[in-house]
Structure 1
Amino acid sequence: MKSLYRLLPLLSHQQFTSGQALADELQVTRPTVSNWVAELVAQGVDVYSVKGRGYRLAEPVSLLDRERILSLLSGEVTRRLSVLDIRTDVDSTNAWVLAQPPAPGRWSVCTADYQHQGRGRRGRAWQSPPASSVMVSAAVRESLTGDALYAASLVVGVAVVRAIRQITTLSVALKWPNDIYYEGRKLGGVLCELQGNPLDQPVLVVGIGLNVNAAPPGLDRDIACLRDLSGRFIDRNDLLAALLNELHSALARLTQPAGLADFLREWSEYDCLWNRSVTLVQGSGQETVVARGIDAQGQLIVDDESGQRRTVNGGEVSVLW
């Protein structure tokens, strides 16, 4: 754990705490406390600093609480957990669980208040202020078909929509292949990775990142957080537990004969690209097409400018709109 994150649980949004009291508690110097506060502010935490009074959070933060999370998980999820690691900070939750591969039928889960090397699709950086977002990865080994593994990010997207609706009642949408949106503003995304042979029960790593009580600063796109959209502060523990519960339900359904088809039909209900003119980006080339939903394998169906219909997959292209 990086030392400065020991400071965050000691800061209150209701009253000031003196720099000396914080220094004594952490067994550091007052200048060290001042430097740590400045670093937290640089990372997006809003801290009031008043000479003679000390420091106070401008708004509350929702810190991760292992016992609360466990109390909210379904019995099916808790029985599958081989590891539930609640970290103050981590380089990457996906990388952490990849290093802790579970046995068949078991899960390794890692979540953190801050992620130093958060990334989205194609390695793009995605960093949120500490204790403001949900960043969780689950490494699972389930008996899934190759088609289900291929479409995993779409299936997980449906689970994310259900969890958000459960906690906030917001009707969010999905952007192919792995983004979560609300009225044109990005809320987060899903990153799935495979370790092992797809024909031999590989490890599927499901990474989910959602802007909960704040959004990452400095991004050149329209973004949003659930707090602003719902009008209320959200306990990240509640949302995290809902995500894991819905993920378990989704994977359980995928093992049924018609499970993938059912999910892809539901995914289509949330499709925010339907009938939109979008730009496909592949390497240095770009092409304007009209999105026409997804096929039975989860590939994007498009009509190009000549009227020809074809499919593309998420490994080939990025979609801009």
Structure 2
Amino acid sequence: MREHKAKLSLLSILSDGQFHSGERLGEQLGISRAAIGKHIQGIQAWGMDIYRVQGKGYRLNKPIELLDQARLESKTSVPISLIPIIDSTNQYLLDKGEECQSGEVCIAEYQAKGRGRRGREWVSPFGSNLYMSMYWQLEAGMAAAMGLSLVIGVSVVEALEQLGVEDVKLKWPNDLYYQDRKLAGILIEMSGQAGGAANLVIGMGMNLSMSGEQGGITQPWVSLDEVLGDHRIGRNQLASAIINAWQDSLEQYEYQGMNGFVERWNRLDNFISREIKLLMGSRVVSGIAQGINEQGAVLIETDKGIESYIGGEISLRSCDTKEQ
């Protein structure tokens, strides 16, 4: 992290969205104006928009609230590692393994190697999104973890609702949607042995203020700023609310399993009562979405009646939208 210290200090100064002269920045950080210019280039490589105007200096295209460990810890009750620049928050906790405490969180400003399901890249520019992961030891074992991404999805949407965010929905099995566009994705990775506890790492990336130029994403997506309109939620407030929601839902899941979440998930199903397609390799199942069941399987009404499907390689697409 020492290699990024100057860049992070520079961003802390620039976070107010005002102009700061290169000379003044150099004085504050104890480095030359030339070094300031090099660090600015490095910050831009993280996906940050920084402008330079002759006679005025440098500024961000808009103010940014940086994540603050003390503020996060004051609103939560779990161990938190704030690592601004990281390869992957999930990988950090996976590498740490059973040294983690159950509930421990890793959160970052920028991921160099963020990933989604099936090894896809998760675009992770600095400060534009929320990148966080939680370690959880599930005593009931790996088999009991089936459907856990649904539980986490419910907890995130309900946390957003408590913050005044409306109309965010869920796409089976692991995405948050707003008006048929992706707002966030959930990735759960696990390890363990038969008969023992499951070691889970639950990761989420949420688009907060990412621009189209930063995104480079092929599927339809939306940022939380667009969902909120004139309303604003601080990044630390949002992260704290989600951390607490995850902890509460995981504790509830330990005792109730999916039973306490089916109705809550179905209320938020983005595709319920709509025609959908399930893609399972070369097989395609078409029908009307009917929510999920107690096993976390997606239910589809077909010509044969209500059928249930579950599995990591199932892809859900709506017949009346582009590929999801």
Q: TM-score, normalised by structure 2?
A: 0.87
Question: CA separation in 2, counterparts of 1:106 and 1:58?
Answer: 39
Would the aligned equivalents of 1:104 and 1:142 in 2 still touch at CA under 8 Å? Answer: no
Q: Helix, strand or coil for the counterpart of 1:193?
A: strand
Would the aligned equivalents of 2:115 and 2:122 in 1 still touch at CA under 8 Å? Answer: yes
Is 2:225 the counterpart of 1:227? yes
Would the aligned equivalents of 2:133 and 2:201 in 1 still touch at CA under 8 Å? Answer: yes
Aligned to 2:73: 70
Residue in structure 1 matching 2:157, options 151, 157, 161:
161
Q: Helix, strand or coil for the counterpart of 1:319?
A: strand
Q: Helix, strand or coil for the counterpart of 1:99?
A: helix
Fraction of identical pairs, as percent = 35
* Deviation readout 1:223-280 (Å, 9 max, x if unpaired): 1122221123331111111111111111121122x44211122111101121222232
Q: Helix, strand or coil for the counterpart of 2:83?
A: strand
Would the aligned equivalents of 2:89 and 2:108 in 1 still touch at CA under 8 Å? Answer: yes
CA deviation after TM superposition for structure 1 residue 38, in Å = 3.9
Aligned to 1:318: 315
Question: CA separation in 1, counterparts of 2:74 and 2:62?
Answer: 26
Would the aligned equivalents of 2:129 and 2:206 in 1 still touch at CA under 8 Å? Answer: yes
Q: Helix, strand or coil for the counterpart of 1:260?
A: helix
Is 2:20 the counterpart of 1:17? yes
CA deviation after TM superposition for structure 1 residue 28, in Å = 4.7
Q: Evaluate the alpha carbon distance shift between residue 250 and residue 29 of structure 1 in structure 2; reply closer, same or farther with a 3 A threshold.
A: same
Aligned to 1:253: 252
Structure 1 residues not aligned, in runs of 5+: none
Aligned to 2:322: none
Would the aligned equivalents of 1:17 and 1:53 in 2 still touch at CA under 8 Å? Answer: yes
| 132-141 or 14-23, which deviates more | 14-23
CA deviation after TM superposition for structure 1 residue 174, in Å = 0.5
Question: CA separation in 2, counterparts of 1:173 and 1:85?
Answer: 29
Residue in structure 2 matching 1:295, options 293, 296, 314:
293
Is 2:40 the counterpart of 1:37? yes
| 62-71 or 306-315, which deviates more | 306-315
Q: Evaluate the alpha carbon distance shift between residue 125 and residue 302 of structure 1 in structure 2; reply closer, same or farther with a 3 A threshold.
A: same
- Root-mean-square deviation (Å): 2.4
Aligned to 2:167: 171
Question: CA separation in 1, counterparts of 2:194 and 2:235?
Answer: 33
Question: CA separation in 2, counterparts of 1:183 and 1:148?
Answer: 32
Structure 2 residues not aligned, in runs of 5+: 319-324
Aligned to 1:189: 185
Would the aligned equivalents of 1:180 and 1:187 in 2 still touch at CA under 8 Å? Answer: yes
AA matched with 1:169? V
Aligned to 2:105: 109
AA matched with 1:248? Q
Aligned to 1:272: 270
Would the aligned equivalents of 1:227 and 1:233 in 2 still touch at CA under 8 Å? Answer: yes
Would the aligned equivalents of 2:141 and 2:196 in 1 still touch at CA under 8 Å? Answer: no
| 156-165 or 139-148, which deviates more | 139-148
Aligned to 2:215: 217
CA deviation after TM superposition for structure 1 residue 42, in Å = 5.2
* Deviation readout 1:119-144 (Å, 9 max, x if unpaired): 11111111232112111111111333
Q: Helix, strand or coil for the counterpart of 2:167?
A: coil
AA matched with 2:258? L
* Deviation readout 1:15-37 (Å, 9 max, x if unpaired): 31112333444455434433443
Alignment of 1:24-173 (within 5 A): 24-41=27-44, 43-73=46-76, 77-78=77-78, 81=79, 84-102=80-98, 106-144=102-140, 148-173=144-169
Aligned length: 312
Q: Helix, strand or coil for the counterpart of 1:160?
A: helix
Q: Evaluate the alpha carbon distance shift between residue 103 and residue 56 of structure 1 in structure 2; reply closer, same or farther with a 3 A threshold.
A: closer
Aligned to 1:236: 235
Question: CA separation in 1, counterparts of 2:144 and 2:263?
Answer: 14
Question: CA separation in 2, counterparts of 1:254 and 1:163?
Answer: 16
Residue in structure 2 matching 1:263, options 227, 237, 261:
261
Would the aligned equivalents of 1:213 and 1:234 in 2 still touch at CA under 8 Å? Answer: no
Would the aligned equivalents of 2:103 and 2:247 in 1 still touch at CA under 8 Å? Answer: no
Question: CA separation in 1, counterparts of 2:84 and 2:274?
Answer: 41
Would the aligned equivalents of 2:182 and 2:222 in 1 still touch at CA under 8 Å? Answer: yes
Q: Evaluate the alpha carbon distance shift between residue 18 and residue 318 of structure 1 in structure 2; reply closer, same or farther with a 3 A threshold.
A: same
